[in-house]
């Protein structure tokens, strides 16, 4: 069911070939072509570029990547899912829908009938392009292609080969979360996967979406694979969207992510990324608060080990008055892992009474681990409240001593402190049952898979 082609991602014909193979309408191929042109013009980033500092972007050879197009999904009662995705879903007793794509098994989705009857659209992006053209077309056509988004994100816009469309009609409030998973399997080794996610929440609607590209542990190692994703979230007036992403990849994966979220009047966007790494994770999270009353909360938890590298950029635009943003990224690094966090807060001249908060705390759990934190504030308005703070350092020795004085050995003491460090962020996130799921993933990485009893225990009392 999967379309596999080796392409030279630098050739124009690649885009033409892709749209022809998928028999896509001309408006779409034109939209892809515009993105491709911007991509072509954009310089290939290097590790000396701002925002790419410390990454090993040089490892990517765009002329040699195979791309895969995942097939369209079919509605089914009980989709066949890989273990890692099943395990995740088990934490959520109630779900609004599940969408799953993979190279190796049939792609499927299941949407709660009541939501479907209210006009909610939740399907893969190709299906949406065919069946819900009127809803999706304006967004795909209007998407700008600024060089600022970066070459690899533009590539994903031009060549996206899987993805999701979530559309929540005006006034529809979905209280149960929706799930989108993509399986990375052996077939994808050495290839490029480019998901495109589009979420549209109309006026006064509400939705929660969890997303993860994952794999069974140990699978898909081998040659470097590129995962380049582009997500766009439209939060219309009075709407509320919660987005959760788990990033946990095999160490052969180089991941590049760009998300653009546009929040309208009195809209609210909340996002949490749990980054457990791959070879390199590079994530740009841009949020534009476009009208008075718009607010956002962007949370991040990064836990690295071995030689994993992380680079997170948050770009927070306050483009209107009376907008509020809260950014909180926490990073803990073991072994020789490394992280760079860059937080840009831009406050436009008209954006009076902006309230912006940005915090980035980094715990170095080894002498070889490295963390950088770069806050950047560009404030043009004069009546604003902007606070930011960054810390980098080892775990507090007095905390360690206190726990050791209660019988915990140094390793267990440190693990407990790190779990607590992350839990403070997890508990801020307003997504039912997510603390249990994410807490378990974090615990497993901190404590090791063998300590299953304690993995489950730490976050048990959280909800």
Partner 1 sequence: MSKTPILVIKDLHVEVEGKEILKGVNLTVNAGEIHALMGRNGSGKSTLSYTLMGHPRYHVTKGEISYKGQDLLSMSTDERSRSGMYLAFQYPVAIPGVSVSNFLRATVKARRGKDVPVKEFRKELKECMAKLGVKDEFLSRYVNDGFSGGEKKRLEILQMALLKPDMALLDETDSGLDIDALRTVAEGINALSTKDNGMLLITHYQRMLDYVTPTFVHVMQSGQIVKSGGSELAHELEAQGYDWVTKEHASTATV
Q: Among candidates 430, 455, 5, which has minimal Cα distance to 177?
A: 430
Nearer to partner 1, 78 or 406 (CB): 406
Nearer to partner 1, 254 or 422 (CB): 422
CA distance linking residue 79 with residue 98, whole number of Å = 8
Distances (CA, A) of 121 to 4, 125, 140, 207, 325: 28, 11, 16, 12, 29
The minimum distance between CB 373 and partner 1, in angstroms, equals 19
377 touches 386 (CB < 8 A): yes
**How many residues of this chain bind partner 1 (CB under 8 A)?**
28
Per CB under 8 A, the list member of 77, 134, 382, 461 interacting with partner 1 is 461
The minimum distance between CB 14 and partner 1, in angstroms, equals 47
Q: Among candidates 31, 27, 33, which has minimal Cα distance to 11?
A: 33
303 touches 394 (CB < 8 A): no
The minimum distance between CB 301 and partner 1, in angstroms, equals 11
Which span sits near partner 1 by CB under 8 A: 91-99, 262-270, 385-393, 403-411?
A: 403-411
Q: What is the DSSP string of 190-228?
A: TEEE-EEEEEEE-TT-EEEEEEEEE--TTTT-SS-EEEE
334 touches 364 (CB < 8 A): no
State yes or no: residue 6 binds partner 1 (CB under 8 A): no
State yes or no: residue 329 binds partner 1 (CB under 8 A): no
Nearer to partner 1, 174 or 332 (CB): 332
Contacts with partner 1, 408-427, as mask; x by CB under 8 A = xxx-xx--xx-xxxxxx---
State yes or no: residue 184 binds partner 1 (CB under 8 A): no
State yes or no: residue 405 binds partner 1 (CB under 8 A): yes
Nearer to partner 1, 221 or 460 (CB): 460
Phi, psi (deg, nearest 5) at residue 350: -80, -10
269 touches 233 (CB < 8 A): yes
Per CB under 8 A, the list member of 368, 402, 430, 448 interacting with partner 1 is 402
State yes or no: residue 23 binds partner 1 (CB under 8 A): no
State yes or no: residue 274 binds partner 1 (CB under 8 A): no
Nearer to partner 1, 105 or 454 (CB): 454
65 touches 298 (CB < 8 A): no
Which span sits near partner 1 by CB under 8 A: 83-91, 141-149, 337-345, 391-399?
A: 391-399
Nearer to partner 1, 383 or 461 (CB): 461
Question: Which residues face 146 on adjacent strands?
Answer: none
462 touches 426 (CB < 8 A): yes
Residues in contact with partner 1 by the rule CB under 8 A: 396-399, 401-410, 412-413, 416-417, 419-424, 453, 457-458, 461
């Amino acid at each position: 069911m999967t379309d596999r082609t080796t392409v030279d991602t630098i050739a124009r014909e690649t885009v033409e070939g892709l749209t022809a193979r998928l028999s896509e309408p001309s408006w779409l191929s034109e939209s892809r072509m515009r993105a491709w042109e911007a991509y072509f013009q954009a310089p290939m980033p290097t590790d000396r570029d701002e925002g790419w500092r410390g990454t090993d972007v040089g490892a990517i050879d765009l002329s040699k990547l195979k791309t895969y197009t995942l097939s369209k999904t079919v509605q089914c009662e009980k989709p066949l899912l890989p273990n890692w995705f099943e395990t995740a879903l088990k934490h959520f007793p109630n779900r609004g829908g599940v969408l799953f794509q993979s190279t190796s098994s049939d792609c499927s989705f299941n949407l709660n009938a009541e939501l479907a009857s209210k006009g909610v659209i939740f399907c893969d992006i190709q299906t949406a392009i065919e069946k819900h053209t009127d809803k999706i077309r304006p967004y795909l056509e209007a998407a700008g292609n600024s060089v600022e988004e970066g070459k690899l994100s533009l590539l994903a816009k031009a060549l996206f080969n899987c993805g999701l469309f979530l559309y929540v009609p005006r006034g529809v409030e979905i209280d149960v979360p929706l799930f989108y998973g993509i399986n990375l399997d052996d077939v994808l080794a050495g290839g490029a996967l480019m998901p495109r996610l589009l979420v549209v929440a109309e006026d006064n609607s509400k939705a929660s979406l969890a997303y993860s590209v994952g794999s069974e542990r140990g699978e898909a190692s081998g040659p470097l694979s590129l995962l380049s994703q582009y997500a766009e979230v439209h939060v219309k007036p009075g709407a509320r969207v919660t987005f959760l992403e788990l990033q946990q990849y095999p160490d052969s994966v180089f991941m590049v992510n760009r998300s653009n979220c546009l929040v309208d009047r009195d809209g609210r966007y909340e996002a949490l990324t749990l980054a457990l790494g791959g070879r390199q994770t590079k994530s740009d999270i841009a949020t534009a608060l476009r009208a008075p009353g718009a607010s956002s909360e962007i949370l991040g938890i990064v836990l690295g080990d071995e030689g994993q590298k992380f680079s997170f950029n948050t770009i927070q635009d306050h483009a209107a008055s009376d907008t509020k943003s809260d950014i909180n990224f926490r990073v803990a690094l073991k072994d020789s892992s490394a992280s760079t966090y860059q937080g840009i807060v831009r406050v436009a001249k008209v954006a009076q009474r902006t309230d912006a908060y940005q915090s980035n705390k980094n715990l170095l759990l080894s002498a070889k681990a490295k963390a950088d934190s770069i806050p950047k504030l560009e404030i043009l308005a004069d009546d604003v409240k902007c606070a930011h703070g960054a810390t980098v350092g080892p775990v507090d020795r007095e905390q360690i001593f206190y726990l050791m004085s209660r019988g915990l050995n140094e390793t267990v003491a440190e693990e407990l402190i790190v779990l607590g460090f992350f839990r403070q962020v997890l508990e801020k996130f307003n997504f039912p049952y997510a603390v249990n799921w994410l807490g378990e993933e974090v615990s497993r990485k901190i404590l090791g898979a063998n300590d299953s009893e304690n993995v489950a225990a730490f976050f048990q009392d959280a909800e």
